[in-house]
Structure 1
């Protein structure tokens, strides 16, 4: 494997991002041990920035640190997944309710454009997943609560540890698109209650497909 090129950002942050992507791409599987010596040698760094990077990932929930056993990629039980989806449904439902009440026409148009892009990506799972996440994160940004956004960002990282992406289930993309249509309709109508309920229903269906 060729040496990893690191840009001039804080070294431990660069290493954390490299490891984070390896976890998301299943190059480091849930439950697998993080070999500090091997990774430090591969990156051409000392173990100090690597250990700082591992602490960052542990704070995000992506890595579990065990006394005298080192660090492992976190494994998600069904209960873990249900707990994460429950919190995401509450937090993102609340954000949608805020946006339904406060978004201006330009912001609603932006969300509608993302929804149109989502519709056009129904045959491309990877693109659908990417636009889906952009839509959710944009709703969070528009709700303008940085604490909620940070919580959701961390929970979404942990959600990616699930081995079975809910969008891989047969028919799930079509169902997800219909759920997004309900969310978009509630936002356009300025109906905060309907927006929150639509988001919560969306996560409930996503959980059912993921477990």
Structure 2
């Protein structure tokens, strides 16, 4: 019994990332139906973690459950992605501002250490990504209320994953972006810390939109390639999974 829980959670995470990548790569498109039985066969997992994963993906706004519990890929385009990233940036900005107001020595020391580690991580993309994400987690844990932290977790799922997949900045640019936030925190400037965090999130939004456009998921005008007209209602199709 002690092993069942972790295994199921791991399987759910596998399913979540699989569906995210299918959407990100354009193999799953807006309105496509997601079949539980096809996912279980494709990933060799039981239906339970697949259903758990679909609940998480619905929370992230990637899919929507409709009549008779059928699940479909939710509509998105450049406009909705910018809006979602903007909200994420505002929430993260609140957390960063609170850290700047508190200026807890332990938190400041942790952020300084992580920034130094990030600056020295140029040889490993994976390590740099892990450190950058830990910087965010540290700010969120230190500055967010329980409710705000729950909202950040909810918003950061697919958006954070897509931002990591779309990262095209140089090592120095990534370090500088985090440095601006951390320097504002050290200075106790809550407004500047909030603005710097929002600016970082807007930059991430642009990268994700550019990457989805490059992959053909979005058109150059920002509409979704699955749309048949400029501002459509999502249509239901029955394809890949």
TM tier, smaller: 0.7 to 0.9
d(CA) in 2 for partners of 1:56, 1:98? 28
Change (3 A) 1:58 1:15: farther
Q: Which has the higher contact order (CA 8 A, sep 6+)?
A: 2
Change (3 A) 1:194 1:48: closer
Aligned to 1:16: 12
TM-score, structure 1 normalization: 0.79
Structure 2 unpaired stretches of 5+ = 210-241
d(CA) in 2 for partners of 1:163, 1:96? 19
d(CA) in 2 for partners of 1:146, 1:21? 26
d(CA) in 2 for partners of 1:126, 1:97? 28
Matches within 5 A, 1:54-133: 54-67=54-67, 70-74=70-74, 76-133=76-133
Q: How far off its partner does 1:210 sit?
A: 2.8
Q: How far off its partner does 1:204 sit?
A: 2.4
Aligned to 1:141: 141
Aligned to 2:196: 198
Q: Does structure 1 conserve the Cα–Cα contact (< 8 Å) formed by 2:16 and 2:54?
A: no
Matches within 5 A, 1:145-184: 145-160=145-160, 162=162, 165-168=165-168, 171-184=169-182
Deviations 1:123-180 (A, max 9, x none): 4222222211111111010014111111111211121464884412xx4443222121
d(CA) in 2 for partners of 1:117, 1:142? 19
Q: Tell me whether 68-77 or 83-92 shows the greater mean CA deviation.
A: 68-77
Q: How far off its partner does 1:16 sit?
A: 2.7
SS in structure 2 at match of 1:39: helix
d(CA) in 2 for partners of 1:207, 1:39? 29
d(CA) in 1 for partners of 2:129, 2:49? 32
d(CA) in 2 for partners of 1:206, 1:48? 33
SS in structure 1 at match of 2:34: coil
d(CA) in 1 for partners of 2:55, 2:203? 33
d(CA) in 2 for partners of 1:48, 1:75? 25
d(CA) in 1 for partners of 2:182, 2:164? 26
Q: Tell me whether 113-122 or 67-76 shows the greater mean CA deviation.
A: 67-76
Give runs of ≥4 in structure 1 deviating > 6 Å.
none
d(CA) in 2 for partners of 1:67, 1:203? 35
Change (3 A) 1:107 1:36: same
d(CA) in 1 for partners of 2:81, 2:184? 27
CA RMSD of aligned residues (A): 3.0
